[in-house]
Structure 1
Amino acid sequence: MAEIKIIGTAHVSQSSVDEVRTAIDEYQPDVIAIELDPSRFAALKKLARDPTVDDVLEIKNFNTLLVQWLLAYLQRKIGFDVGVEPGAEMKAAIEEADKRGIPIGLVDRDIRVTLLRFWNSLGFFEKIRMFWALIVSIVEIDSGEEIDIEALKDQDVIDVVMEEFRRFSPNGSRALIDERDAFIAHQLVLLKAQRPEGKILAVIGAGHRKGISAFLENPATLPPFDALTREPKPFPWAKVFGFIVTFLFFFLLAAIAFSGVGWTVLLYAFLFWVVIHGAISAFFVLLAGGHPYSAATCFGVAWMTSLNPMLHAGWIGAYVEARVRKPPISDFRKIYQTESLSEMARIPLFKVVLVAALGNLGSLIGTVLYFIFVFPVLGIDPVVVISTGIHNMGAWVTGII
């Protein structure tokens, strides 16, 4: 029967690199399974084609891409601090496999599917907390706070970290940890079936070792494989929210029109919608370092996109940003090589993605502020206006019938 040996590594640890080389030398595996998917494997070996800015604009996953870049930056900064390139132990495993002619098994899930499932599993407030925690972590690392990398491989420390992550984001931990544990275990079971007499060495992040081992000890507990690989199709809450906003806006205008307060108030209600959405969206684009043309575009379209759940102001602003900045394909590699956030923020492609994310955020904030402040700004009593407007609309409809 095939034998599986799991090494739990830290992705920015020199001792993990040494441990991988030693384990391969001593264990003499027939297959080396590594915690990579084909796209990351190709990127690590510099075989992958960098996507173009048009690819980014077409897919429109600006938020998940931004999270991916910030996570990669955080890992890279930790690696810089300890003098080890992130993923160095995976590179070491690949180099040893190539040198010895040992087949490689890529056992991790497609990073694109993982990030989509992760992002879509988070609620609105979980996303805010996650972004905040990520920024705080980056600030701490940039300020020189030291991290004991080797302690991160200690099982007791791992258990504490994992438990904290589950409390912080139960849905996110399921997508990033539990599902990947199950996916990797499925792949190892498959490798074991393909080589019934062989030896498999699995090079896995230390945080996954416990979960994978539990699945391998009891494969009957593994969830169905196809349930782990499907791209998520979450309930379209954003579109539902957009349709509700559109309905409320036009209902509000109708109520004002039928209430008898005058057409001037109705005009100001509409202008307030245009200005508040445009101004806040444009401000956030400029905050992202976007070009004035992009900010002006968001100012001009935010009021319309807020009434169309299929469009977003940030998307249009990002398109203009891309046409003005003309990011070269090399920007993708530059983003993964930066040594500071300020350096990353100067990269045109990063600006495009940040413009999309913050432009949309500004428009969303504009919607919330509009419904909070529209009546105080107009100087009218909302209860009186809405109740009178509904009554008069009812009378008008009855009169037509």
Structure 2
Amino acid sequence: MSEIENTHLIRRVEAGETTYVLLGTAHVSPASVADVRREIATGDYDAVAVELCQSRYQSLMDPDALEKLDLFQVLRSGRAGMVMATLALGAYQQRLAQQFDIRPGEELKAAVEGARGRHLPVWLVDREIGTTLKRVYRSVPWWQRYSIFTGLIASLLSRQKVTAEDIERLKEGDILESTFNEFAAESRAMYRPLIEERDEYMAARLLEESDEATAGPPRRVLVVVGAGHLNGLEAHLREGIDDPVETRQALEEMPPPSRWPRLIPWAVVAVILTGFAIGFSRSPQLGFQLVGDWVLINGTLCALGVALARAHPLTIAGSFVAAPLTSLNPTVGAGMVAGAIEVMMRRPRVADFRELRDAVAHWSGWWHNRVARTLLVFLFAGIGSGIGTYLAGFRILGRLV
């Protein structure tokens, strides 16, 4: 009998022909690593499931995966913000490792390696982190989204010391939950996709894997998850899920975006162009003055943001020129243009990708690593251009009134 048999960290749930042994772990605890190894060493299991998605699995098992990142494609596809959020989460883990000599996720890695050593199937049952972040983003009112993203990045860049309270939260949840804890505690809309949906998703994945096992449903499966998932996961397995595949697919879908917020940028463009037309109809001098205001305010604030990211001088100049134009075309962002110029001017080296994970562990590293700095250029250019658009718009309206 395992030494953790009678603790609250282990649950047994029978579903069909399979017994799922749910082992709750603390993602920052060496004791959890020992618990995982001890359970696998019993030889009582036919498969091991872990609270990982494919991307997190790759990051955990292949530290060099970042070297394969196509930065230009990231910018062009609009994934720069998601990559920044993922790097920020990784920076938090890196600071934990350096400050407490703890490597978050070691118990998951031990579960994977232990299963491989015994030639057992490894099931990745957590939802893709990108999907979870997108569903969190879509779940909150549109006016809160930008503040959540920038707040996440700012807090993770600025916090050089991880407090004892942070560690205690990690003992009951995971890196993702702890990072968003401040927001999720106050928002039911965030709490569901971040925590409850993942419990249901992992239960569906477990049942799906059992149903699709080539040798028939396994007899016993060890499920290694954060302790904070135990209650929800156990409840879903006991209640049962009628169609695990359909449930999984539903939880992977993106909620439809609200239509009218997408019209705001086009409405702003319409107002600005109308202002230009009115200005020129009154006098060419006024019209050119309005255009000058638009170019100067929008371009200057975008260039200022890019300069704060310590971009190449040509990137700063290009941002000044591009911002007034991209702001009149919502399909192209100033951040994408600025980021692309920065990539061309300072093409990241192999060493930049290789050192990226360590570099972003401290706020100064974001400015010294070429990959991280390009992402900052993307972010700051977008912020500067966005502010400039509205300030210039109010300036134009003020001249016309």
Preserved CA contact (<8 Å) 1:12 1:85: yes
- For structure 2, which runs of at least 5 residues remain unmatched after alignment? 1-16
Q: How does 1:1-400 map to 2 (within 5 A)?
A: 1-26=17-42, 28-46=44-62, 48=65, 50-122=68-140, 123-132=142-151, 135-136=154-155, 138-140=157-159, 142-143=160-161, 145-147=163-165, 149=167, 152-154=170-172, 165-193=183-211, 194=213, 195-220=216-241, 224-231=247-254, 234-235=257-258, 239-258=262-281, 260=282, 262-338=283-359, 339-376=361-398, 378=399, 382=401
Query: Larger deviation: 245-254 or 268-277?
Result: 245-254
* Whole-angstrom CA distance in 2 between matches of 1:160 and 1:62: 22
Instruction: Quickly say closer, same or farther: Cα 1:333–1:173, change in 2 above 3 A.
Output: farther
Q: SS of the counterpart of 1:224?
A: helix
Q: SS of the counterpart of 1:177?
A: helix
* Whole-angstrom CA distance in 1 between matches of 2:219 and 2:187: 39
Shift of 1:253: 2.0
Instruction: Quickly say closer, same or farther: Cα 1:162–1:273, change in 2 above 3 A.
Output: closer
Q: Deviation digits for residues 293-313 of structure 1, max 9, x if unmatched?
A: 111111001111111111111
* Whole-angstrom CA distance in 2 between matches of 1:303 and 1:148: 43
Instruction: Quickly say closer, same or farther: Cα 1:67–1:148, change in 2 above 3 A.
Output: closer
What is the aligned-residue RMSD (CA, Å)? 2.9
Equivalent residue letter for 1:139: S
Preserved CA contact (<8 Å) 1:277 1:302: yes
Taking structure 2 as the reference length, what is the TM-score of the superposition? 0.84
Q: Deviation digits for residues 285-331 of structure 1, max 9, x if unmatched?
A: 11122111111111001111111111111111100000111013453
Q: Deviation digits for residues 63-111 of structure 1, max 9, x if unmatched?
A: 1211111111112212322212222111111121122222211112223
* Whole-angstrom CA distance in 2 between matches of 1:133 and 1:162: 8
Shift of 1:232: 5.5
* Whole-angstrom CA distance in 1 between matches of 2:167 and 2:184: 21
Q: Deviation digits for residues 140-163 of structure 1, max 9, x if unmatched?
A: 4x14633463564359xx999998
Question: Quick check: which has more Rg, 1 or 2?
Answer: 1
* Whole-angstrom CA distance in 2 between matches of 1:60 and 1:160: 26
Aligned residue pair count: 374
**Identical positions, percent:** 29
Equivalent residue letter for 1:37: C
- For structure 1, which runs of at least 5 residues remain unmatched after alignment? 383-401
Q: Deviation digits for residues 191-246 of structure 1, max 9, x if unmatched?
A: 34345351111111223222222211212487722211235552466642221111
* Whole-angstrom CA distance in 1 between matches of 2:177 and 2:259: 34
Taking structure 1 as the reference length, what is the TM-score of the superposition? 0.84
Equivalent residue letter for 1:93: A
Shift of 1:27: 6.7
Preserved CA contact (<8 Å) 1:8 1:208: yes
Preserved CA contact (<8 Å) 1:38 1:110: yes
* Whole-angstrom CA distance in 1 between matches of 2:134 and 2:48: 28
Q: SS of the counterpart of 2:358?
A: coil
